[in-house]
Homo-oligomer: A and B are copies of this chain.
Amino acid sequence: MVSVLTDYGLADEFVGVLHSVLARLAPGCPVVDLTHGVRRQDVRAGSLALLRVATYLADGVVLAVVDPGVGTARRGVALARPAGATAAPGGSRPGGHGFSPQVAFVAPDNGLVVPALRALGGPWEAVALDGRGYGLGGGGPTFDGRDVFAPAAAHLARGGELGDLGPPVALGSLVQLPAPVTVWRGRAELTSEVTWVDNFGNVQLAAPPVPGGGADIFGTGRATLRRPGPSRPSGPSRPSGPGGAAWAVTVVRAFAELGPGRLGLLVDSCGQLALCLDGASAAELTGLKEGDLVTLLP
């Protein structure tokens, strides 16, 4: 099985070319599209999407391509478990579903897969993709997904050795992105970065709930949300704070517990705090977008 995540979008035939190359080089191997809707060239958004899906991955190879540096000296890498190794028990696996994905990764070395690697727990070994003997020629050097990464993934999917893909590299040399910001002041106040605005307009924060569960986060089940910076609210609800962007939020377990236009805070399907509305977009209401900082107060 090859699982694929890219920022190619579906308007062009890029994804179709990847599938075609995989079908040629690893015949009969099933392919799962994780998503191709990562914001173009947004490595961080891609790394967070891959993190969210990590513990659910089908066993096999993960082909991840968000690659603004294509054609430059940036490395491509492949990562797999060392022979005989299994995931260390110390791997921080969120969720209670009990899956333990046995996967390898093929991706540019720009931080894209690092959060997922960590979530799955070590040990890992890595090689730098040199394309020798497996890369495809043709065209210019702007489509390594087709010419290098997919052939490398097909090699692993066929049961090929990691070491055939290029020379070993130290894990410590992998490019890493800064972690999303989360600052707790006790259990009373939280400043956190928006990590995801999904298709429904739910606004995920970097923060998990404090131990004790989401319903206990802010004692009374209510909190105040503050967004620094100029106010750009829209929608039926108005900021409650004088001269600033602030909203009352209600702690809930389900969207439908909220009345129309009331902003909610819940533990989302990733185990993270998220802002939501019932049947509407919390992102639209608050004007929040990925990378913004918000503060939650009692």
Contacts and interface: CB of A to CB of B under 8 A. Distances in A.
A41 to B, nearest CB: 6
B35 A254 contact: no
Given A94-B139, A137-B95, A16 B30 contact: no
Contacts of A49: 12-13
A5 interface: yes
A54 to B, nearest CB: 10
Interface residues of A, number: 76
Interface string A129-149: 000000011111111001100
A1 B279 CA distance: 31
A200 interface: yes
Given A12-B199, A139-B268, A269-B140, A30 B35 contact: no
9 contacts: A5-B16, A9-B199, A13-B34, A14-B198, A16-B35, A20-B56, A24-B56, A95-B138, A139-B271
Interface of A: 1, 3, 5, 8-17, 19-21, 23-24, 28, 30, 32-37, 40-41, 49-50, 52-53, 55-59, 68-72, 94-99, 136-143, 146-147, 196, 198-200, 214, 253-257, 266-271, 278-279
A38 to B, nearest CB: 9
A191 to B, nearest CB: 21
